[in-house]
Amino acid sequence: MRVHAYDGASFETPAGKTSIVRLGKARVDSILNESAVLCAEAGFFAEPDSGINCSSGFIRFDGQGAPHLEPHHQTHRCRHTLPGRWKAGTDGLMLAGSLLGRLLSGIFMGEPDAEAKSALLAEICGAAALGYATRLMQPRAVILHGRTAENGKSQVLELARGLLPPGATCSLPAAKMNDEHHIVAMAGKLLNASDELSPAAIASDTFKSVVTGEPIQGRDVFKSRIEFRCIAQNLFATNHLPSFKGGVDRGVQRRLLLIPFLRSIPSDERIEGIGKRIAKEEPDILLAWAVEGASRLIQNRNFSVPASCQVALAEWLLSEDPVLAWIEACVEVRPVQNAAPALTTRDAYNRFMEWAAAEGFKPDNLPEITGFVQRVVARAAGARYKRTNKGRFFAGLVVTQQ
């Protein structure tokens, strides 16, 4: 507005004549661009205060996760302001009778750990609001999985997006994270919420770097390459969990959190667009719920993952990685003494193939012996591969079940 105010203003030229300022779009854009360059302070947002910037102020948390409200100030170094308003003393009682309460009770109705799964969703939203996802002891990308339709996972995506202002979110599929022209969209974002999931992308080094906040490089079209660290909480929704042709390494396993959505919401319980409605009609309730999640997250420095989520993740990974499943079911790693125990790689491979056939794994998903050896070494912690003049061996590996 300050630039536009000069349009039509008069000024005196060096020749002493009076002239009029005429500002078209090109000149206005040029002035704004140069002003931004002059005002820029490199790294200004690199070390923001830990807290949530909302409409009523800055919510700061102490070391125990207790929140309190402060007036807005530039020293907080916040890029975004959440639309909700918060005041001290707000608690979960606000959920009673709300759309948010109805959604949470409906998606996990009848499950023994329904309350724990709802609390986990609050922590995920809190991590996004805080920009805390990559500061956790174990940063994780979250996958909302429901085999059936109308189970509420897409509505959870919508309310997570709606918790934050549009400029703080993006929707980048994991498959596009390897593209430098796409990954730059995550710079400065608090949440990446997408309903596309690719196995190749999940297994990539770039995906791991994004989830943990390691330095990555990107470049917008016709602009210079930049280096930045992602702080966004990654949240994906899918009906079908992807397959991993090459197995799932430990790095991938540590970076995933799977939340199963088991219930199809009956038609008489559904509220059309409830996720967006929560964000629009109940921003204060949504923010208070996320603040409670953020408080627990800061106190524990990690997500509180219910046992059912851990079991669901393990079942998925084991079903997609026959080598890992065989190690879990049939193998022990023991200390090596006097070169024993030792098992030839060929013997181990033959036993694995017999077991995999009996368990019904598809032959196309089973590795050749070279790939099998590599995956055993990567997945069986403590086992070592040795090559001698007598052959190739796994040192410390014992098959306990045929």
Same domain, 221 and 297: yes
Is 19 part of a structural domain of the chain? yes
Helix segments in 237-344, DSSP class H? 250-254, 274-281, 283-300, 307-320, 322-330
Same domain for 180 and 94: yes
pLDDT score of 80:
87
Q: In 3-state terms, what secondary structure has residue 139?
A: coil
What's the chain's length in residues? Answer: 402
272-292 residue pLDDT tens: 999 999 999 999 999 999 999
Same domain, 219 and 334: no
Average pLDDT rounded to a whole number, residues 68-91: 85
Q: What is the pLDDT of residues 296-342, one digit of tens each?
A: 999 999 999 999 999 999 888 888 889 989 999 999 999 988 878 88
- Return the CATH number at 192: 3.40.50.300
Q: What is the structure's pLDDT at 127? A: 96
Domain that holds residue 358: 322-399
Indicate the average pLDDT of the chain. Answer: 88
On whether both 278 and 154 belong to a single domain, the answer is yes
Residue pLDDT, tens place only, 43-54: 545 566 678 999
278 plus 355 within the same structural domain: no
User: Does 45 fall in a domain?
Assistant: no
Instruction: Note the pLDDT of residue 294.
Output: 95
- Is 90 exceeded by the pLDDT of residue 258? yes
pLDDT at residue 83 is higher than 70: yes
Q: What is the CA radius of gyration of the chain?
A: 27
pLDDT for the residue 30: 82
Confidence of residue 200 (pLDDT cuts 50, 70, 90): low
How many separate domains does the chain show?
3
Q: Which residue, of 289, 315, 341, is where some domain finishes?
A: 315
CA 47 to chain centre: 20
Does 44 reside within a domain? no
CB–CB of 12/251 below 8 Å? Answer: no
Domain boundary (282, 315, 348) is at: 315
Task: Render pLDDT for 351-398 as a digit per residue (tens, 0 to 9).
Answer: 999 999 999 988 888 899 999 999 899 888 888 999 988 899 999 999
**What is the residue whose two structure tokens read 């059912």?**
308
Tell me the range of 207-211, 215-219, 288-292 where mean pLDDT is highest.
288-292
State the pLDDT at residue 164: 96
Count the neighbouring beta carbons within 10 Å of the beta carbon of residue 198: 17
Provide the Cα torsion 290, 296, 301, 304; round to 10°.
-90
Exposed (0-12), middle (13-18) or buried (19+): which is 127, by Cβ within 10 Å? Answer: buried
